[in-house]
Amino acid sequence: MGYEMKKSIKDIDLKKKKVLLRVDYNVPINDNGEVEDDTRIKESLPTVKYLLEQGCSLIMMSHLGRPKGKIEPKYSLKPVSKKLEQLLGKKVIMAEGIVDEKTKTVAYELKSGEILLLENIRFDSREEKNDENFAKELVSLVGKDGVFVQDAFGSVHRAHTSTYAVAKFLPSVAGFLLEKEIKYFDKILNSPERPFVAILGGAKVSDKIEVIDNLMNKVDAIIIGGAMAYTFLLARGISVGNSLVEKDKVDLAKDLLKKAQEKGINLFLPIDHILANKIDKDAQTKECTVVDIPEGFIGVDIGQHSIDRISGIIKGAKTIVWNGPMGVFEIEKFQNGTKQVAILVAQATENGAISVVGGGDSVSAVKKFSVADKISHISTGGGASLELLEGKVLPGIDVLQNK
């Protein structure tokens, strides 16, 4: 992967520089127009504070939601600027636009230690087209002596104007958050301590095919849960009742099972289940202590035998990557499997394992079950972390300067 060779903000002189800083402030905003979860904003603060300590003036950019290249007030970054101001205890100037004349004037006059947050970068239709002219306009805000700092891990898998094209026109380096993400993924993918265990869940096999494929060359064991497990069980000729399956992916699941066998990788599928007649908090549920699921029932979580079986595997691991829940954990009756896995990963980490949790649902799970502070690294980018696990080159990191 070689990403550990990318320059970070510690590797260049930033004294009094104007910095174009790409952050990932794509955060949930509630109906009152307030930021509901400020995790991503908090994660960017070490970079922001370091740049301010260097006397930089910051022009920050982010997207929010999918406004599809036009101005949509509900996707404005105004609530974000208020939250950033609160967290920093420092004034943040909120721009009215992106590269309009008024914003340009504010940017040109920005003094050392001042912060300007541009309006949602996706309000300009050129952002998602990786447009060089738009990039030049953004770069003009900091001038030819400026620097580009990339700290939006959640966006580096996309080659957009603010993540890729701008880096061609300025010295471009990683911020602390991006550096931390690179460090952990580099470690688990290129020099993991063994045993290395991957825990994969979620609804669809199709979302994780390339991840499974790539990890098979690296891990010692793969644990599969969530709805994607039923496609694998079906591939083994096991009845799955009315569980969610991707019938068109059964042959592919067969190929992956065969590949695991050939490579001598232990691939663990559920051996018992929690069943429901529908996916609803008022559903009738029952334990199914065997692997076959009767007609009329849906598998919604892994059962106790499955948990017992994987418990030693997880606790004995030295490197763990977890992406995707074991069941419909949003509903209390169906959350035990995901909860137990979260606790096991936390215990393994306390015993010296390196654990990396990525993907929105797994991140929600470790927070929900209060073990987030016991995980080595919680990734801030769902799509980006998946693509790294797939072994892909991420354009927004690739374009940064090498050490």
CATH for 245: 3.40.50.1260
pLDDT tops 60 at residue 1: no
With a CB cutoff of 8 Å and minimum separation 6, the contacts of 386 are 207, 208, 211, 323, 358, 359
Q: Determine whether 383 is an active site residue.
A: yes
Q: pTM of this prediction?
A: 0.91
What strands lie across the sheet with 147-150, from one edge to the other? 93-94, 115-117, 57-61, 18-22, 147-150, 172-174
Does 196 lie in the same domain as 170? no
Q: What is the mean pLDDT of residues 222-234?
A: 96
17, 22, 40, 180: the active-site residue: 40
For the segment 113-131, what is each residue's pLDDT rounded down to a tens digit?
A: 999 999 999 999 999 999 9
Looking at residue 3, its pLDDT comes to 65
Looking at residue 242, its pLDDT comes to 94
Does 229 lie in the same domain as 375? yes
Q: Determine whether 360 is an active site residue.
A: yes
Does 211 lie in the same domain as 78? no
For the segment 20-52, what is each residue's pLDDT rounded down to a tens digit?
A: 999 999 999 999 999 999 989 999 999 999 999
For the segment 55-77, what is each residue's pLDDT rounded down to a tens digit?
A: 999 999 999 999 999 999 999 99
In this structure, are residues 60 and 117 in contact, taking their beta carbons and an 8 Å threshold?
A: yes
- On whether residue 93 sits in a domain, the answer given is yes
Does 383 lie in the same domain as 256? yes
Does 256 lie in the same domain as 138? no
For the segment 351-384, what is each residue's pLDDT rounded down to a tens digit?
A: 999 999 988 789 999 999 999 999 999 998 888 9
- On whether residue 402 sits in a domain, the answer given is no
Does 202 lie in the same domain as 150? no
Spatial distance between the Cα atoms of 183 and 375, rounded to a whole number of angstroms: 15
Q: Determine whether 204 is an active site residue.
A: yes
Structure token digits, residue 174: 């990683």
Which amino acid is it at 146?
Answer: G
**Which residue matches tokens 């949602």?**
120
- CA triplet 172, 174, 179: central angle to 5 degrees? 160
Does 145 lie in the same domain as 223? no
Question: Which pLDDT band holds residue 205 (cuts at 50, 70, 90)?
Answer: confident
Mean of the per-residue pLDDT values of the chain: 95
Spatial distance between the Cα atoms of 201 and 341, rounded to a whole number of angstroms: 11
Question: Which pLDDT band holds residue 2 (cuts at 50, 70, 90)?
Answer: low
**Which residue matches tokens 């990039």?**
135
Show the domain range for 64: 3-175
360, 367, 382, 391: the active-site residue: 360
Q: What is the mean pLDDT of residues 199-225?
A: 92
Question: Which pLDDT band holds residue 5 (cuts at 50, 70, 90)?
Answer: confident
Does 191 lie in the same domain as 82? no
User: How large a percentage of the chain has pLDDT more than 90?
Assistant: 92
Q: What is the mean pLDDT of residues 370-399?
A: 92
* Number of domains the chain contains: 2
Structure token digits, residue 46: 């070490």
Structure token digits, residue 355: 């654990």
Question: Which pLDDT band holds residue 165 (cuts at 50, 70, 90)?
Answer: very high
Looking at residue 51, its pLDDT comes to 98
82, 204, 318, 368: the active-site residue: 204
Q: Determine whether 16 is an active site residue.
A: no
